[in-house]
């Protein structure tokens, strides 16, 4: 019986989650399996890979063949490197301590790279969010400016209409007219009547 390490699909539509299982090569993809050794969630960024490294290594050393996808995942987690180092230990090329030291150095470097990638993704998300916020603020400001310009234009039109309906009174220029000189004739002294003169005499 040939044994494979492969993925078994589960989860809802368009949100698939996979189990990493050890199964008979003749079994259906989502059918009977021998052992479940981990899970894989491609919906997160970066993808979540949870595998029991010790069990995976045991099955690999016993001859189980991983599929291409699972092999890439095991390489990502360092299981394939550990298998290579363990084969070197079994052949006597290196000691167990040297193999463990090499694996720990690789694991530290890998964790650093993963942390850097996670921080880069977080920073990119924050930058994209800030750019979207700035663009939205600029758009809102442009809309407010357009509304203000429209209101100013309407006010100007209303003022022009009011000026056309109610014309301002024309200011009369006050012209100073010279006062008409009343020509009054000097009063002539009346001549005394003869009768009165005689009476006085």
Residue 5 predicted with pLDDT over 90? yes
98 vs 117, which has greater pLDDT? 98
> How far apart are the C-alpha atoms of 164 and 160, rounded to whole Å?
6
Cα distances (Å, whole numbers) of residue 49 to 29, 57, 61, 68, 70: 19, 16, 21, 15, 10
Q: What is the pLDDT of residue 19?
A: 93
Residue ranges per domain, the chain?
Answer: 3-94, 95-162
Q: What is the pLDDT of residue 171?
A: 54
Of the listed ranges 110-114, 148-152, 171-175, the least confidently predicted one is 171-175
Q: pLDDT tier at 201 (50, 70, 90 boundaries)?
A: very low
Cβ-based burial of 24 (10 A; exposed 0-12, middle 13-18, buried ≥19): middle
> How far apart are the C-alpha atoms of 4 and 18, rounded to whole Å?
15
State how beta strands 35-41 and 17-24 pair: antiparallel
> How far apart are the C-alpha atoms of 76 and 161, rounded to whole Å?
77
Q: What is the pLDDT of residue 23?
A: 93
Q: Is the separation of the CB atoms in 33 and 8 below 8 Å?
A: yes
Q: pLDDT tier at 169 (50, 70, 90 boundaries)?
A: low
Q: Is the pTM of this model over 0.85?
A: no
> How far apart are the C-alpha atoms of 6 and 165, rounded to whole Å?
87
% of the chain at pLDDT higher than 70: 82
Per-residue pLDDT tens digits for 116-152:
888 888 888 888 888 999 899 999 999 999 999 888 8
Q: pLDDT tier at 96 (50, 70, 90 boundaries)?
A: confident
Per-residue pLDDT tens digits for 7-31:
999 988 889 999 999 999 898 888 8
Per-residue pLDDT tens digits for 34-70:
999 999 999 988 888 999 999 999 999 999 999 999 9
Q: Is domain 3-94 annotated with CATH 3.90.870.10? A: no
Asked if the peptide bond before residue 165 counts as cis, ω within 30 degrees of 0, the response is no
């Amino acid at each position: 019986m040939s044994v494979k390490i492969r993925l078994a699909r589960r989860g809802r539509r368009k949100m698939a989650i996979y189990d990493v299982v050890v199964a008979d090569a003749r079994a259906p993809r989502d059918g009977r399996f021998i052992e479940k050794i981990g899970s894989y969630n491609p919906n997160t960024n970066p993808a979540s890979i949870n595998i029991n490294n010790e069990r995976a290594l045991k099955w690999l050393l016993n001859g189980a063949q991983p599929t291409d996808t699972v092999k890439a995942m095991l390489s990502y987690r360092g299981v394939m490197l550990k298998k290579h180092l363990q084969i070197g230990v079994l052949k006597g090329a290196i000691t167990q301590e040297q193999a463990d030291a090499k694996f720990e150095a690789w694991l530290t470097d890998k964790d650093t790279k993963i942390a850097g990638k996670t921080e880069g993704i977080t920073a990119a998300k924050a930058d994209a969010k800030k750019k979207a916020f700035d663009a939205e603020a600029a758009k809102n400001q442009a809309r407010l400016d357009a509304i203000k310009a429209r209101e100013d234009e309407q006010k100007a039109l209303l003022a022009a209409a009011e000026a056309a309906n109610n014309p301002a009174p024309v200011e009369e220029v006050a012209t100073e007219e010279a006062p008409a000189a009343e020509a009054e004739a000097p009063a002539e002294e009346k001549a005394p009547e003869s009768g009165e003169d005689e009476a006085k005499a």
